[in-house]
A = this chain, B = another copy of it.
Amino acid sequence: MPPEIPHDQPSIESPLSSQRLDELADVVASSIQDDQRTRHLSTDYLPSRREIIGVLERLEWLLFPGFNGPRSIGEASLREHSRRLLAEVAGPLFHQIAGALRYVESTEHIDFDQHCPDCDERGKEVVDAFLGSLPELRNTLSLDVQAAYDGDPAARHTDETIFCYPGIRALWMHRVAHSLFMQKVPLVPRIIAEHAHELTGIDIHPGAEIGNSFFIDHGTGVVIGETTVIGDNCKVYQGVTLGAKSFEHDERGKIKRGTKRHPTLGNHVTVYAGATILGGDTVIGDHCVVAGGVFLMRSVEAGHTVRGPKAAVRLNTNPDPSDID
């Protein structure tokens, strides 16, 4: 695999002597040899971030045809367009999923055999089921698009939300990642989620269950944890955390994994900017509104507005305006 970024001036030669490079190569190679935690040797099958991003680009062209990617698709060429992209997605997605399954096998079995026909069989099943669910996924995303338009007075048209809204971008990638997560695909869903996080500042764990017609406005700093459950018609703004309280530890002092640690939101819940809701037992009922900046670690019954403490701001006259900035 060649680097993504070519050197602008590839002719620049190393200022170090060939002998010095040999010395450095020796110590760097043994440091790689010595620390198993930070390297993988001879593991062709490992998932590739770059390949997964390539699959996502093509998926976007299937989910929102005509918005990004080729523009000239007409009714006549639509089926051809779809078939070509489906084939282009199926191969690499299969390769990534089967590779991730091989990877898990390799971490769990000492006598791991890269051959692993089961990984291929399972990978094929997952790809088949996932691509078969695309029409349903498109329906769900269509509701999200409408929710984004309905929820933002600055939007002029639903098209604008598909072209420009980070919330839509984060959400379609999440729904893809969640679908693979539910099929127990390892690593790949997390890589997708982190790619969405990089692009949007919205960090949704692939495990989070999110209902229909969800809208995230602005979105930077939103964190939605692994065991969060969100109902239909909910809305969250930038900087909202749906997170865990401090973690429980087992008898060996290790943190427990795999319990419900993140909150549950009912239907029609709105959480304004910067609010933090924590805890696996915290349930926010239907039609609740959580005001901006509220810090909430308890459940709230349906139909309530939650505000922080009454906090009048304090004003002081600045003695000398020229002193301020």
Docked-complex contact A218 and B238, CB < 8 angstroms: no
Docked-complex contact A124 and B15, CB < 8 angstroms: yes
Docked-complex contact B286 and A313, CB < 8 angstroms: no
Tell me, in angstroms, the Cα distance from A146 to B107 when the chains sit together.
Answer: 16
> Which of B82, B199, B203 contacts A32 (CB under 8 A)?
B82
Tell me, in angstroms, the Cα distance from A239 to B47 when the chains sit together.
Answer: 30
A113 within 8 A of B: no
Question: If the complex has contacts A226-B154, A308-B311, are A38 and B79 also in contact, measured as CB distance less than 8 A?
Answer: no
A111 within 8 A of B: no
A115 within 8 A of B: no
Q: Known A-B contacts: A16-B90, A16-B131, A268-B324. Give 7 more (CB < 8 A).
A: A40-B66, A41-B73, A48-B71, A153-B256, A220-B220, A220-B221, A295-B311
Docked-complex contact A255 and B12, CB < 8 angstroms: no
Question: If the complex has contacts A7-B92, A16-B128, A305-B318, are A74 and B42 also in contact, measured as CB distance less than 8 A?
Answer: yes
Docked-complex contact B132 and A24, CB < 8 angstroms: yes
Give the contact-size bracket for chain A. 35 or more
Closest to A217 in B: B223
A68 within 8 A of B: yes
- A13 contacts across to B, CB distance below 8 A: 91
A94 within 8 A of B: yes
Q: What is the oligomeric copy number?
A: 3
Closest to A66 in B: B40
A110 within 8 A of B: no
Docked-complex contact A71 and B44, CB < 8 angstroms: yes
Docked-complex contact B276 and A293, CB < 8 angstroms: yes
A127 within 8 A of B: yes
Per-position 1/0 for A77-105, Cβ under 8 A of B? 01111110011101110110000000100
Q: How far is the CB of A126 from chain B (nearest CB, A)?
A: 10
Interface centre among A6, A95, A141, A191, by most B CB within 10 Å? A95
A210 within 8 A of B: no
Docked-complex contact B276 and A274, CB < 8 angstroms: yes
Per-position 1/0 for A21-64, Cβ under 8 A of B? 11011111111110101111111111111110110011001111
Docked-complex contact B39 and A8, CB < 8 angstroms: no
Docked-complex contact A153 and B88, CB < 8 angstroms: no
A109 within 8 A of B: no
A263 within 8 A of B: no
Question: If the complex has contacts A73-B41, A247-B153, A261-B153, are A14 and B94 also in contact, measured as CB distance less than 8 A?
Answer: yes
A186 within 8 A of B: yes
Per-position 1/0 for A263-293, Cβ under 8 A of B? 0000010100110101000000011110011
